[in-house]
């Protein structure tokens, strides 16, 4: 089946152990359980990134690490809180650095499955943010997974709601790995 696919997770907030970071972790654990290697870029690492400037080619270590990880990635999972019905500034800035992949053989997120996770204190925030994330992934030539996870953190925690959220997050992780494996098979030389 080829080597283990690399899935890079990007997301969170500057608040340690945020609901967004926890959601990303569930999806990455699912990807790892499906045989992927995973690498994480969460809030504290993303906060090290200066505002993206396309006119300044200098990159800090955190930016180089992020871009290089995505360059090697077979799949990506992005997770953002819903801030005013869209992705957070932290996430948008992080994704702007993917512009550095524009001249690659696989530019931007090309030929990569991308799982999208939105968290927020209400359905309007989560659903609007999920739609924005999917549009960003399309603009970066990625393939959003069929299921995107919208996690409403304002709902009272009940066993059924926890299971539903876990199902969504685990499915996102699995779909990213499945797409990566399909891409590996398509790129493998034919034995016919």
Report which of 10, 6, 86 is spatially closest to residue 43, judged by C-alpha positions. Answer: 10
> What is the model's pLDDT at position 192?
58
Q: What is the CB neighbour count within 10 angstroms for residue 2?
A: 12
**Tens-digit pLDDT profile for residues 85-103:** 899 999 999 999 999 999 9
pTM summary value: 0.94
Q: What is the mean pLDDT of residues 139-146?
A: 97
Residue 1, pLDDT above cutoff 60: no
**Tens-digit pLDDT profile for residues 42-99:** 999 999 999 999 999 999 999 999 999 999 999 999 999 999 989 999 999 999 999 9
Taking the C-alpha atoms of residue 52 and residue 37, their distance in angstroms, rounded to an integer, is 28
The DSSP result for 125-142, as a single string, is HHHHHHHHHHHHHHHTT-
Q: What is the mean pLDDT of residues 126-150?
A: 97
Residue 156, pLDDT above cutoff 60: no
Residue with tokens 């970071």: 21
Taking the C-alpha atoms of residue 18 and residue 81, their distance in angstroms, rounded to an integer, is 9
């Amino acid at each position: 089946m080829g080597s283990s696919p690399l899935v890079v997770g990007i997301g969170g907030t500057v608040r340690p152990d945020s609901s967004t970071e926890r959601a990303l972790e569930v999806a990455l654990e699912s990807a790892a359980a499906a045989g992927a290697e995973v690498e994480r870029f969460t809030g504290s690492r993303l906060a090290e990134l200066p505002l993206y400037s396309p006119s300044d080619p200098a990159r800090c270590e955190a930016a180089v690490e992020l871009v290089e990880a995505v360059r090697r990635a077979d799949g990506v999972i992005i997770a953002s809180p819903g801030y005013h019905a869209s992705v957070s500034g932290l996430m948008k800035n992080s994704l702007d650095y993917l512009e550095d992949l524009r001249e690659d053989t696989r530019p931007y997120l090309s030929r990569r499955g991308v799982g999208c996770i939105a968290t927020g204190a209400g359905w309007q925030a989560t659903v609007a943010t999920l739609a924005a994330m999917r549009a960003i992934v399309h603009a970066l030539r990625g393939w959003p997974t069929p299921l995107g996870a919208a996690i409403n953190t304002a709902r009272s925690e009940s066993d059924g709601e926890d299971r539903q959220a876990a199902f969504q997050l685990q499915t996102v992780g699995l779909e990213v790995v499945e797409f990566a494996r399909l891409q590996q098979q398509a790129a493998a030389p034919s034995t016919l």
